[in-house]
Amino acid sequence: MVGYYFERRRGIAAGMACSGAGFGLLTLAPLAAFLVTEYSWKGTLTVLSGVSLNCLVWGALMRPLPARSCTVAKVQHFGGAV
pLDDT class of 76 with cuts at 50, 70, 90: low
- Find out whether 35 and 48 touch, Cβ atoms under 8 Å: yes
pLDDT for position 74 = 53
**Half-sphere exposure in the Cβ direction for 46 (13 Å, CA):** 6
pLDDT 10s digits, 16-62: 888 988 898 899 999 999 999 999 999 999 999 999 999 899 888 87
Average per-residue pLDDT for the chain: 82
pTM of this prediction? 0.61
